[in-house]
Amino acid sequence: MSLQQEIIEKLGVKPSIDPAAEVRKRVDFLKEYVRLSHTKGLLIAISGGIDSAVTTFLCKQATDELTQETGQEYITLGVFQPYGEQADIEHSYAVAKTFNLQHVVETNIQEAVDEIALEAEHGLKKIGQPRHMSHQGKGNIKARTRMVTQYALAFELNLLVVGTDHASEALTGFYTKWGDGAVDITPLSSLNKRQVRQIAAHVGVPQEILDKAPTAGLWEGQTDEGELGVTYEDNSDYLEGKDINPKAKEILESLYNRTEHKRNVIPGI
């Protein structure tokens, strides 16, 4: 078995999907886990990108159906988490409006992130390594601070924190472990980026979001494809078992091998 075949099998990606069937399966998955966990609903951070938009639809559908079926209120809480001024935050609000979220909050993480970064810089200075945080390091602080805030809200409201992780991110390790990779449940995990886009079009994600370049928003001008050096088209083709450009394949498999620790739980002995 080739490494490509091993990765596809491990991540559970299908060569093609029926968007309607995938929506039904993933909504049922969310509903069942809410029941099993005895929680009151779901929390989703809405970045304004495709992944969180699709996840928002799935969460809202799941909690609406649970409310109707049980006669008890289940909610989806949408959380907007800008760092200072977020130029495209209107896309986050557009997602909430499109899918009729009644419960939304905005939590600005700038002050908390800046304080954590400052404390880390003090620590570096004390060990003889004076420097400002790198933009990558501060980006990771943003990801982890967002999750701390999400879990604070989720605890008080007895909600599950839902992640937007999918197979194209898992392949490259393109997420912050225990940051945006620290969630309770991941309804997109066996989909590649192309398949997420197919579902987005099926459920009516606004066109301005479908047209956006994918970005984690961790620093100004950052894009996923620019940082990784490979397109999501090649990434998705790879996960569907297709032959791709040898250079792109080399990049993807190198990223996969270098980031295995991110896909593993905490090791012990």
CB burial of residue 86 (10 Å; 0-12, 13-18, 19+): middle
- Active-site residue identified among 6, 9, 18, 51: 51
Task: Assess contact for 162 and 55: CB atoms under 8 A.
Answer: yes
Element (H, E) at 45: strand 41-45
Do the bridges between strand 41-45 and strand 75-80 make them parallel or antiparallel, or are there none, so unpaired? parallel
What's the rounded Cα separation, in Å, for the pair 196 and 199?
5
Amino acid at 163: G
Annotated catalytic, 119?
A: no
Paired residues of 42 in beta bridges: 76, 160
Phi/psi for 173 (5° steps) reads 65, 25
Annotated catalytic, 69?
A: no
Residue 48 DSSP label: S
- Active-site residue identified among 9, 32, 90, 169: 169
What's the rounded Cα separation, in Å, for the pair 63 and 41?
6
Tokens 């590649």 belong to residue: 192
Q: Which residues are catalytic?
A: 51, 169
